[in-house]
Amino acid sequence: MKSVRRLTVPVVALTALVLAACDGGGGSREGIWAAGSSTVFPFTTRVAENFSRANDFAMPRVESLGTGGGIKAFCAGIGPATPDIANASRRMKASEFDECARNGVTDILEIKIGYDGLVVAVARSGADYDFQASDFYLGFAKSVPGPNGEFVANPNVTWSQVRPGLPDVRILAYGPPPTSGTRDSWLELGMTPSAEAVPALATLAESDEDAFETRAHTLREDGLWVDSGENDNAIVQTLTRTPGSLGVFGYSFLEQNSDSVKAATVNGVAPNFETIASGDYPISRSMYVYVKKAHIGVTPGLDLFVTEYLSDAASGRGGYLQDRGLVPLPAPELEAQRQAVRARTPMVRPEE
């Protein structure tokens, strides 16, 4: 979708003054600024490239800080010293929403842009994996139930120890760090249901939900799970250099690197466009961008950028973001997102 709008010098000057006023005199900037999820980064970058080619505005600045880092910067205040957009591979948390409000960031537009799946991948030359039930918990948790029912340091060092039938390969996984939305999604969609498949953990979940979450979400610290930073491409490269190792990252990176890595199945389901869109693949999630309503009409081109993001050419089925690995929303859901943006409907406080 191509649209050109030129701002005259007086309008640009006025815009700078308004932003500076919002920022308490902290200066001004040209161009849109988006920061956050490494998984959403390639999608927003592609939109920025198309937007810049089609419009007479500065090239948007897109930073990969992780979902948590991007939302923290976004919530720091209003004005040019803070991003217009936060990219997120999970929903904003209630605590983050409250932090935004404390800093004067209200009337936030929450925009779902599509779906992604988390994959557990290995180099193409590596063994094939079909992970089931309790495998993730017994492989990656810091502590597991011991023979006497007490929790002990995870003794499993090969996948065949986790479950007969899995490859007799040393457990070693490279995954997202705590600041990443991918890490949050992994804990909720991968580790939690896997822990619930362990009888002792299922009992704990009923008696003490907080204790269960601590057990389920605390990953091992003995070197067999490695936090690998916000660059998912670096994990892909590590898999090809470290035989037998696994990597946890977004489906889009699998799509872009299918010549060098392959994905494990989960409960017998392989991650692909159809299984993620239908929800049949167990580790599927929604992708978001958050936009400051206060910056629309102030940051040059921000409204047109959001329109481009939700266009059929970008986010529709067969759009250029699908080529990057984004699984598009169904047409009615995409139209609902557009209507909410047109109406400038702010998000409500998340429940958690």
User: Strand pairing partners for 53?
Assistant: none
What's the distance, Cα to Cα, between the start and end of the chain in Å? 37
Which band of pLDDT confidence, cut at 50, 70 and 90, is reported for residue 252? confident
pLDDT at 5 over 50: no
Residue 139 · residue 193 · CB < 8 Å: no
What is the chain's Cα-based Rg?
22
Q: For 142-162, write each residue's pLDDT tens digit.
A: 999 998 889 999 999 999 999
User: Strand pairing partners for 86?
Assistant: 35, 290
pLDDT at 231 (0 to 100):
67
Q: For 72-92, write each residue's pLDDT tens digit.
A: 999 999 999 999 999 999 999
Burial 223-247 (b: 16+ CB within 10 A, else e): ebbbebbbebeebbbbbbeeebbbb
pLDDT at 27 (0 to 100):
54
Decide which of 243 and 167 is more confident. Answer: 167
Nearest Cα to Cα of residue 313 among 50, 31, 55: 50
The whole-model pTM stands at 0.75
Amino acid at 305: F
pLDDT at 234 (0 to 100):
79
Mean pLDDT (the chain, rounded): 89
Average pLDDT value for residue range 3-10: 34
